[in-house]
Structure 1
């Protein structure tokens, strides 16, 4: 017998009724945040992270009801089962063991007879050996020159998380090997990268679990052609990260080396596997990558062991559900007040929207309302000069403000108006959270701000590998827990496949035209015929 969906539970119905009172003036945020103990009651701390949700449109009663919903749906219990290797990805009959890639507390972890810890230790040792040898100059390009640059060839989860971490760590570590990311099948993405590299000193890292991803394989063909055009031996410049026994793991393939990824770690959760491990170790050294794993593990343990009332990712997941399903917000912004975190929003966007943007439960029941919301973001203070006019006076949306206590810059700090740049940055972050909550009365309508716009503040100590690992793991755990509460499988992504299927038939038409210039598109839809004809004419 199928269990009830979240919307059918009494605990959720109680929340829906409680949400109605928040339209009353006494529940405006300008009144809620004046409660004497509001900040203490609605903020949580953990190792190297602080979470302030006192400016969310929530009170003690609704928070208690949200905890009751989490208990009813057994979200934390399912999370713990996930970390032990249970097949929580039911549609694909797989475990979801991204936490196993940074597991330091257990001595044994298995799924489907696979020794997870043993396999991760083996791959990490291979990464450490390879990166150390490359840094020492023992591994060189085919012309004998040491590598100075690496290009990551992959799409979606094969690069977004790694790019976020790389850009963050660059603020405190000088890269030993510079990284670029070839994700888009757009030839201009490839062309831009080729202008940045020396072909003789560039390593290409192809990331694809199946080694069949269309965009990645198209870029691989382009890379191989580029290497041959520069009279370089492909096998001396190409490394793969792929599944065991995939075409990219063929011992006879023309590659320098291969590192394994596993079907129990999904792409958007794969930064702590070889997908992030090899590039980040090449960039900063394996020791920095290990520190990153330790930071991830700290938040993994927090999510597993902390009681609901003290659990940061669970609380964030519950607030997200409250905002989407009870208060009706269709979007959420992620605004890091740190340029080093500039690629956080794109990573969270994919992590969250691909995991939770679904309309059915894991048991195939349609939800009363589709899951997830729109995620977007831009670093502050840039965001303030980009879309905060709408944030203050347009349709409201919750915001995660992310602050870094200690910046990566260690040089002399100049003072402007008596404060340093970092202090000015924090002044703006604090001011925005307050302004969004309070609003402003004014006789001139264009200067009236309604306020009552929710936000949370997330603080991390610095941009060290450990802090970045904690932040990444927080967003992973929050996403997974939200999925478990909704009854959604946060690990499959069948919506991504639909467009790929349709692209196959269109690709076949293009191939036919390439082979036979007289081939026509008149049997296709009018729009498709127009686009393909325009493509081959080369102009409008």
Structure 2
């Protein structure tokens, strides 16, 4: 795998030169029908319309050269085959394989990493048998009634991805069972969820790889207390998704256990048991398999060497063009699909925890921009909120729109000649055009400068297979960008310092003399902060 500085690639110098005069999208011919037809990439049921990006053939050729110089396809293939890519050369690090793709490489007779895919198959079989017991009525509550709700208790990757996937698909596969989520250590989060469910017919899915995550274990105790107060046995209402051999891997405490593995990072774990147990409970095993099949198809598509035919690679390189060469610090992901309401929140973690790095895989400080700020909300709500800034503000924000030609529930109504879904898509396309082309006016307040880069990602309908492909598209985009920037996209050292300091503060709240220091010592920073916050 290449461990080369981003700035040393010959294509970087060419792209820097091309960025001095990027393609002009404004004016009559800036967005012609011919350009729209040519600048489209289709894969796994999705069409990426990127004529509204500030690229031309010269830029695309240079981006292809950058991908080739950086060995991005080879790096991606090495990752899928089990190379230890979660590492910093010459320094202490996690030193792990990165094999979330193995979770969906279960449809091949010759998986790329047989051991990891074999484990994934074993866990899928455990899940199938577990769901069979629920369906057949052999697994019920103490009163012989079926469980109707699952509450997933986890945080970070054990919440954001699974929650986003469930919300995205609950309308695609109607079920008698539903899911809720508890993540925040804020007790109001747990209290709100627990007050709105029938505890006697609820299974709690406690998710922690280490089995020691403070927020999750705290919320687990709140759940146990609620169950005991209701006269229920927690061990008959709780299951675990954890690492094999962790403190949570205990059949006396949990009705069932599923395993997660070190080579699957939390933010990449939605296609592992972290996401699939709750998704399977709510939707059934068949939608789970379709979801995995969609992700697997996108993983295969990501191995195409030609940039303009490789959707994840193209999206990654367009992002690099906007971020590193045109100088735009953020990207907005705006789904024109209410079921994807939490998908931008998942991408915030997946992208910013992955590529929010300032050290190369060689251990040196980077001298180029790495991951952008990722944010977003569903349209059309956002049009009445922050779109003013992306159209006319001084900060240019590249946009990635996501839309579907058909609604999920297929409950619609024609009003004034068009359906709601048609209005939704028309709004999305109109925003894309307006950002790109702009508008002239004698009134300066009504001038839209245009040349605001964006792309439109379209599919027919948000099905389990489409959702799997969409998830893998963004996961693979993030990995490609990290490889290109020569950073480790798979560790998360940046979250550790806050955990250490929080532990110190909690120790002080407990009155630990070791942390508080002697009576004559000067008041510590932690003590001063607690004093001002009046906590403890």
TM normalised by structure 1 equals: 0.93
Check 1:309–1:534 CA distance in 2 against 1; reply closer, same or farther (3 A cut). Answer: closer
Listed one character per residue, the Cα deviations across residues 5-36 of structure 1 (whole Å, up to 9, x for unaligned) are 102222212211110112xxx73444663456
Q: For residue 237 of structure 1, what is the aligned residue in structure 2?
A: 237
Q: Please give the secondary structure, in 2, of the residue aligned with 1:260.
A: strand
* Higher mean C-alpha displacement, 84-93 vs 323-332: 84-93
How far apart in 1 are the matches of 2:165 and 2:308?
29
Q: Please give the secondary structure, in 1, of the residue aligned with 2:302.
A: helix
Residues matched between the structures, number:
529
Q: How far off its partner does 1:409 sit? A: 2.4
Q: For residue 55 of structure 1, what is the aligned residue in structure 2?
A: 52
Tell me if the contact between 1:522 and 1:529 (Cα under 8 Å) persists in the aligned partners.
Answer: no
1:107 to 106, 109, 130: 109
Tell me if the contact between 1:30 and 1:452 (Cα under 8 Å) persists in the aligned partners.
Answer: no
Q: Please give the secondary structure, in 1, of the residue aligned with 2:95.
A: coil
Q: How far off its partner does 1:521 sit? A: 12
| Aligned ranges 1:133-152 → 2 under 5 Å | 133-152=133-152
How far apart in 2 are the matches of 1:250 and 1:286?
25
Tell me if the contact between 2:505 and 2:526 (Cα under 8 Å) persists in the aligned partners.
Answer: no
Q: How far off its partner does 1:429 sit? A: 0.7
Q: For residue 458 of structure 2, what is the aligned residue in structure 1?
A: 459
Listed one character per residue, the Cα deviations across residues 237-272 of structure 1 (whole Å, up to 9, x for unaligned) are 110001111111134x31111101111111111111
Check 1:369–1:524 CA distance in 2 against 1; reply closer, same or farther (3 A cut). Answer: farther
Structure 2 stretches of 5 or more lacking a match?
A: 88-92
Q: Please give the secondary structure, in 2, of the residue aligned with 1:51.
A: strand
Q: How far off its partner does 1:143 sit? A: 4.4
How far apart in 2 are the matches of 1:534 and 1:365?
38
Residue 95 (structure 1) aligned with residue 97 (structure 2): yes
How far apart in 1 are the matches of 2:217 and 2:141?
22
Tell me if the contact between 2:80 and 2:112 (Cα under 8 Å) persists in the aligned partners.
Answer: no
Q: For residue 174 of structure 2, what is the aligned residue in structure 1?
A: 174
Q: How far off its partner does 1:72 sit? A: 0.6
* Higher mean C-alpha displacement, 81-90 vs 183-192: 81-90
Residue 163 (structure 1) aligned with residue 160 (structure 2): no
Tell me if the contact between 1:135 and 1:282 (Cα under 8 Å) persists in the aligned partners.
Answer: no
Tell me if the contact between 2:6 and 2:368 (Cα under 8 Å) persists in the aligned partners.
Answer: no
Tell me if the contact between 2:24 and 2:30 (Cα under 8 Å) persists in the aligned partners.
Answer: no
Check 1:133–1:30 CA distance in 2 against 1; reply closer, same or farther (3 A cut). Answer: farther
Tell me if the contact between 1:209 and 1:241 (Cα under 8 Å) persists in the aligned partners.
Answer: yes
How far apart in 1 are the matches of 2:27 and 2:196?
51
Listed one character per residue, the Cα deviations across residues 72-117 of structure 1 (whole Å, up to 9, x for unaligned) are 1101111011111111212422111111111145434576xx8222
Q: Please give the secondary structure, in 1, of the residue aligned with 2:51.
A: coil
Tell me if the contact between 2:106 and 2:120 (Cα under 8 Å) persists in the aligned partners.
Answer: no
RMSD: 2.4
Q: For residue 317 of structure 1, what is the aligned residue in structure 2?
A: 316
Q: Please give the secondary structure, in 1, of the residue aligned with 2:303.
A: helix
Q: For residue 90 of structure 2, what is the aligned residue in structure 1?
A: none
Q: For residue 346 of structure 1, what is the aligned residue in structure 2?
A: 345
Check 1:495–1:431 CA distance in 2 against 1; reply closer, same or farther (3 A cut). Answer: same
1:44 to 20, 36, 41: 41
Tell me if the contact between 1:176 and 1:282 (Cα under 8 Å) persists in the aligned partners.
Answer: no
How far apart in 2 are the matches of 1:14 and 1:338?
38
Q: For residue 70 of structure 2, what is the aligned residue in structure 1?
A: 73
Q: How far off its partner does 1:449 sit? A: 1.2
Tell me if the contact between 1:331 and 1:373 (Cα under 8 Å) persists in the aligned partners.
Answer: yes
Q: Please give the secondary structure, in 2, of the residue aligned with 1:133.
A: helix
Q: How far off its partner does 1:503 sit? A: 0.8
Q: How far off its partner does 1:536 sit? A: 4.0
TM normalised by structure 2 equals: 0.94
Residue 33 (structure 1) aligned with residue 30 (structure 2): yes
Q: For residue 471 of structure 1, what is the aligned residue in structure 2?
A: 470
* Higher mean C-alpha displacement, 170-179 vs 58-67: 170-179
Structure 1 stretches of 5 or more lacking a match?
A: none
Tell me if the contact between 1:135 and 1:176 (Cα under 8 Å) persists in the aligned partners.
Answer: no
Tell me if the contact between 1:149 and 1:201 (Cα under 8 Å) persists in the aligned partners.
Answer: yes
Q: How far off its partner does 1:431 sit? A: 0.7
Tell me if the contact between 1:85 and 1:109 (Cα under 8 Å) persists in the aligned partners.
Answer: no
Residue 84 (structure 1) aligned with residue 81 (structure 2): yes
Q: For residue 224 of structure 1, what is the aligned residue in structure 2?
A: 224
* Higher mean C-alpha displacement, 164-173 vs 137-146: 137-146
